[in-house]
A and B are shown apart, each in its own frame.
Chain A
Amino acid sequence: METTSPVERLLRGVALTLVVVFFMFPIVWIFLMSFQTNETILRIPPSVVFTPTLENYAALITGKLQTASGTLDIAFMRNLGNSVLLSVASVALALVLGVPAAYAFARHKFRGSEDIAFTLLSFRFAPPLLVLLPLTQYFQWLGLSNTYFGLIWIYQLICLPLILWIVRGYFEDISADVEYAYRIAGHSWFSTFRKIALPLAGPGIAAAGLLAFIFAWNNFVFALVLASADKQPVTVGALAFVTASGIQYGQIAAAIVLSITPTLALALYAQRYLVEGLSLGAVKG
């Protein structure tokens, strides 16, 4: 182990602290805001000293938003439920479709395989707004607008390429000979995929799934255009806090805290896989 002088260690500590403060400050500030009323938030000069209140959270959970001009119904909890449903279902579908596809692209070089893989990746190049207009038309003709099915389908534009490319890199990292050894010992192609390839690529699949979940969770524009109020996720639902009688900063902050909680919990839980998976798999993809 290399030795470091006390000065160097001190400087390193200061630098790390600065970075952490810089990145954590907005989150901490939002966390504090979620326990304040609009008046204490907007007070000048701002202060970190205040009497905490739970009324923002209460309003979100009961769905009754008290404003100066009366009580407003908000569907935040429903939005949260929609977010969970849409993200989980999209990632699940993308895993079911993407993992076997990634395996195929990694192991079998067939005519046009690179082109197909690249086309799938190119879904992520196009700005969403570019495809939204024609998509809206199609969805209306097909009767898919404002359905969970339609949204989950369109979320594949986000999840599928991500999972496909990360998991593919991971499969490519597994020596094909391990699978050959299994096959030559008397096992079929499918059981090799299930018993050898899948478990070995496990961390990579978990990492890709988590990443896809975060992207799906944070999506805004597809849901905004293609779904109406009762199918919208939290990202779109947060717009309801901009009311005729002003912006409800406290509720927005509380909503943000609530909506990042599931992703944060998932990310903390899967952190180990995420680092391992991304550093081993994606680099070579």
Chain B
Amino acid sequence: MNATALLIDSVDKFYGPVDYGVHAVKQLNMEVKKGEIIALLGSSGCGKTSTLRMIAGFEPVSRGTISVAGRQVHMLAPVRRNVAMAFEGYSLYPPLTVRENMAFALKASKLSQSVVDEKVASIAKLLEIEDILGRYPSSISGGQQQRASLGRALIRDADLHLLDEPMGQLEPQLRAVLRGRIKHYIKERGLTAILVTHDQTEANALADRIAVMEGGVLQQFDTPQKIKERPANLFTGTFVGEPPMNVFEASVNGTDARVTFGLKDGVRLEYQAADFSHAVRDALMKRQNVVLGIRPYSVRRSADGVTGRVAVNQWLGDQTHIAADFAGGTMVLVEHDRTSLEIGQPIGIRLDPASLHVFDSESGMAISHGEELA
């Protein structure tokens, strides 16, 4: 059960000449177990789609190797890799109906007609496209085309299912329902799926592990919870999480009794030395400058905290987003109740040492998360 489904070993991708062209994917290493759902998460141009296309065989690998189910495939034609893919642009065959499009994916597998019909019917039910099976791609909406394209990929029994932004065009409600069903479908059949997305909610909901990419570099590859609680670096910390993590540059001043962070505008955050473990304190003392990060929902209001001024107070129906001018920047707080704060009103802000993320000011690498070393 825990066999390796996908192994990406030191893969580089250059568009243009190797070493001189655009370096889209840099020294990527990744191992995916059979039955896992992996999300490649990142902004556009981060290399996630290039990675997916290299696995599928539509882009040549500039350096390194890719293995699927124990076979090295990076030199093979797409037809021989035994992977299925749902394309971001749907890419249905225009002359075929939705039903034929999906059945077509099974043609090479030489199943009997009744089995094919059965599979098409069950996947159509799952994706709620039973009523459009007889229609042509040009006559259905983008969301329907996307579901048909997703169905065409999921219907196959491949070693690896590659899904490129599989739900981008769907209405939010349907998206939420389908996420659950698709995850169940994949898990039930023990399929392995690699999903490319820029939507972190989707990544969190579907994936067992998330690979955060930026600038062609894999930033962190871990479970959604670990990525949120223990971001490996400043990029992951600020990219994942909504609203994004608050970050402030700070100088560090430590004695045996106290740890003091000096922020802009003379703001000082003072903590007891005992608030941090020895190891964290040692790591902090070695540095003069760090970057502090704190999630908006970990920021507390307290009368004895540091003063900030309310700039925005928004009630979103289930939570309040407060933005306050703080230490030359903006501090965002999330609270669950409606508040009556006025714009310009001073509030006391307290940053709990247990929820502080500290990053190196130069490399951006995480130093500590709360009490623990990164």
Contacts and interface: CB of A to CB of B under 8 A. Distances in A.
Interface string A199-212: 11000000000000
A189 interface: yes
A118 interface: no
Contacts of A176: 58
A148 interface: no
A200 B137 CA distance: 14
Contacts of B104: 185
Contacts of B109: 186
A183 B95 contact: no
Contacts of A177: 87-89, 91
B92 A178 contact: yes
B42 to A, nearest CB: 20
A175 interface: yes
Which of the listed residues A176, A182, A186, A189 has the most CB atoms from chain B within 10 Å of its own CB?
A186
A183 B77 contact: yes
Given A199-B95, A200-B94, A183 B89 contact: no
B83 A184 contact: yes
Contact of B91 (A181, A188, A189, A199): A181
Contact of A180 (B87, B107, B152): B87
B108 interface: yes
Interface in A143-197: 175-178, 180-189, 196
B195 to A, nearest CB: 16
B164 to A, nearest CB: 9
Nearest to A188: B79
Q: How large is the interface on A (under 10, 10 to 19, 20 to 34, 35 or more residues)?
A: 10 to 19
Q: How large is the interface on B (under 10, 10 to 19, 20 to 34, 35 or more residues)?
A: 20 to 34
B262 interface: no
A181 B88 CA distance: 11
B93 interface: yes
A196 B93 CA distance: 8
B93 A180 contact: no
A187 B104 CA distance: 11
Contact of B93 (A182, A183, A189): A182
Given A188-B79, A196-B93, A181 B85 contact: yes
B107 A185 contact: yes
Interface in B326-348: none
A266 to B, nearest CB: 25
A211 to B, nearest CB: 24
Interface in A203-238: none
Interface in B44-59: 56-58
B77 A189 contact: yes
Nearest to A176: B58
Given A175-B89, A185-B108, A186-B79, A180 B58 contact: yes
Dominant secondary structure of chain A at its interface with chain B: helix
B105 interface: yes
Nearest to A189: B77
B92 A185 contact: no
B210 interface: no
A184 B84 contact: yes
B156 interface: yes
Nearest to B58: A180
A175 B95 CA distance: 14
Given A177-B91, A178-B91, A196-B93, A184 B152 contact: no
A188 B78 CA distance: 9
Contacts of A180: 56, 58, 78, 85, 87, 91
A174 B203 CA distance: 30
Nearest to B104: A185
Contact of A185 (B57, B77, B95, B156): B156
Contacts of A185: 84, 104-105, 107-108, 152, 156
Nearest to A195: B93
Contacts of B78: 180, 183-184
B187 to A, nearest CB: 23
A184 B91 contact: no
Contacts of B108: 185-187
Contacts of A175: 89, 91
A75 B224 CA distance: 84
Nearest to A199: B95
Contacts of B107: 185-186
Nearest to B137: A178
B94 A184 contact: no
Contacts of A188: 77, 79
Contacts of B149: 181
B85 to A, nearest CB: 5
A185 to B, nearest CB: 5
A172 to B, nearest CB: 14
Nearest to B149: A181
Contacts of B156: 185
A13 B105 CA distance: 54
B334 to A, nearest CB: 40
Contact of A184 (B79, B88, B92, B95): B79
Contact of B79 (A178, A187, A196, A200): A187
Interface in B93-109: 93-95, 104-105, 107-109
Contacts of A183: 77-79
A17 to B, nearest CB: 37
A88 to B, nearest CB: 28
Given A181-B85, A181-B93, A187-B79, 15 more contacts: A175-B89, A176-B58, A177-B87, A178-B93, A178-B94, A180-B78, A180-B87, A181-B91, A181-B152, A183-B79, A184-B79, A185-B84, A185-B105, A186-B108, A200-B94
Interface of A: 175-178, 180-189, 196, 199-200
14 contacts: A175-B91, A177-B87, A177-B89, A178-B92, A180-B87, A181-B85, A181-B149, A183-B79, A184-B78, A184-B79, A185-B107, A185-B108, A185-B152, A196-B93
Q: Which 8 pairs between the two chains have the least Cβ-Cβ distance?
A: A186-B108, A177-B91, A177-B87, A178-B91, A181-B91, A183-B78, A184-B78, A185-B105
